[in-house]
Amino acid sequence: MQNLTQQLASCLVVVVLLAFVGGCESWDAVRDGEFKPMVTSEPFGQTEDGQAVELYTLRNKHGMVAKIMTYGALLTELHAYDRDGKLGDVVLGFDSLDGYLKGHPYFGATTGRVANRIANAKFMLNGQEFKLAANNDPHHLHGGDKGLDKRVWKAEPLMRDGAPAVRFKYTSPDGEEGYPGTLDLTVTYTLTNENGLQIDYLATTDKPTPVNLTHHSYFNLAGAGSGDILGHELQLMASRYTPGDETLVPTGQIAPVAGTPFDFTEPKPIGKDLKIVGGDPIGYDLNYVLNSSNGSLSKAAVVRDPKTGRVLEVFTTDIGIQFYTGNFLDGTNTGKGGKVYEQYHGFCLEPQHFPNSINTPKFPSVVLEPGEQYRKTTVYRLTTDAVK
């Protein structure tokens, strides 16, 4: 009897503890595994107009680390284990805020309101024309001159199921970058117990408006700045793609990848067919139609680096994925540790709706209506090919 009372009492303590942890969204969770899961934050400088920027560090129970800053809700570092148990930072970026402020090709960024291209920087919605910045002349790219990647977001640290997380919020005012409607955005990064960097998106609007958010990390599974990614093996769960014109805007067709250099339905080194894909500069920069399109969280891609054994799995609820091999990287960006980023030094896998959907009635709509919720989840999971 006494035993039972003791057990009940300790259960109560645990329940109270958990309630406290959950209710207060404490920064520290109960120790679970080798490391104590935690979220910390530190000042990371300020923007040109004097806004303070904070850098959040998430560490999960396995010791994996992600760093995300309030400028652009942008992932600056992601430390994952290789097959020998060595941690390495697998995303391109800079050591300080300065590098990001000077301009860069969307390293680690949350891009939107509409990721990718909107042809000729304009669209019609309910009989009205909206003109946008032609920042990828003549097209609009990744939300315009000052998209979501260049805004300072509000951040709140939290724990989700024993995993460290940070929730970013930003309200994009009506008319910002030419888009209609006040858009309330929430982007939550969680470093899960399964070593996944999970990104949950939520948006609501007060006027009909296009929304297509994505994440723009450049991965190099051998470590940022360690050379090119052409030896990485990629598999895409996509047997179709949206062919594009020479300015990378989809033609509106949906075509099978079979028999083309775009076919990654079986694992293949990224560099194998790269020289024959064409493009100027040469390389992959196109949208794939994911096989799974029912809105459930499904595997979209797997990438393995044979050298280090690191494996990246991408899961998403979205219907398309842009695969980009860093073709425009040209050595103008000196990144972390003074490493210069050259062409093909990173690859992006950006889950999203198809580019230019707002001007392509055949493609699934990206218009968010008042009263609706834009919701999506993407997980970048880092494991290794080590035999356990």
- Burial environment of residue 113 by CB neighbours within 10 A (0 to 12, 13 to 18, 19 or more): buried
Q: Are strands 310-316 and 298-304 parallel, antiparallel or unpaired?
A: antiparallel
257-235-74 Cα angle (round to 5):
110
Kindly tell me which of 324 and 374 has the beta carbon lying closer to ligand GLA: 324
List CB contacts of 168: < 8 A, sequence separation 6 or more: 68, 70, 73, 110, 153, 154, 155, 185, 186, 187, 188, 189
Kindly tell me which of 71 and 81 has the beta carbon lying closer to ligand GLA: 71
According to CB under 6 A, which one of 94, 106, 170, 341 is a site residue for ligand GLA? 106
Kindly tell me which of 116 and 384 has the beta carbon lying closer to ligand GLA: 116
Instruction: Kindly state the smallest distance separating residue 118's Cβ from ligand GLA, in Å.
Output: 12
Instruction: Kindly state the smallest distance separating residue 11's Cβ from ligand GLA, in Å.
Output: 51
**Alpha-carbon gap, residue 161 to 129, rounded angstroms:** 45
Residue of 54, 233, 350, 353 marked active site: 350
Stretch of residues binding ligand GLA (CB under 6 A), selected from 233-241, 301-309, 321-329, 330-338: 321-329
Residue of 104, 139, 142, 216 marked active site: 216
Q: Between residue 121 and residue 160, which ones bind ligand GLA under the rule CB under 6 A? A: 141
Query: Is residue 44 part of the contact set for ligand GLA (CB under 6 A)?
Result: no
Q: Are 115 and 218 in contact (CB under 8 A)?
A: no
Query: Is residue 192 part of the contact set for ligand GLA (CB under 6 A)?
Result: no
Residue type at 99? G
Tell me how crowded residue 270 is: count the other CB atoms within 10 A of its CB: 21
Query: Is residue 248 part of the contact set for ligand GLA (CB under 6 A)?
Result: yes
Instruction: Kindly state the smallest distance separating residue 84's Cβ from ligand GLA, in Å.
Output: 32
Query: Is residue 218 part of the contact set for ligand GLA (CB under 6 A)?
Result: no
**Alpha-carbon gap, residue 63 to 120, rounded angstroms:** 46
Query: Is residue 322 part of the contact set for ligand GLA (CB under 6 A)?
Result: yes
Stretch of residues binding ligand GLA (CB under 6 A), selected from 251-259, 269-277, 320-328, 364-372: 320-328
- Burial environment of residue 296 by CB neighbours within 10 A (0 to 12, 13 to 18, 19 or more): exposed
**Catalytic residue list contains 350:** yes
Query: Is residue 233 part of the contact set for ligand GLA (CB under 6 A)?
Result: no
According to CB under 6 A, which one of 56, 168, 324, 347 is a site residue for ligand GLA? 324
**Alpha-carbon gap, residue 255 to 234, rounded angstroms:** 20
Site string for ligand GLA, 56-95 (x = CB under 6 A): ----------------------------------------
DSSP three-state, residue 275: helix
Query: Is residue 228 part of the contact set for ligand GLA (CB under 6 A)?
Result: no
Q: Are 219 and 197 in contact (CB under 8 A)?
A: no
**Catalytic residue list contains 140:** no
The two three-digit tokens of residue 384, written as one number: 């290794």
Q: What's phi and psi for 185, nearest 5 deg?
A: -120, 140
3-state secondary structure 305-319: CCCCCEEEEEEECCC
Which positions are catalytic? 216, 350
State the residues that interact with ligand GLA by CB under 6 A: 105-106, 116, 141, 248, 285, 322, 324, 328, 348
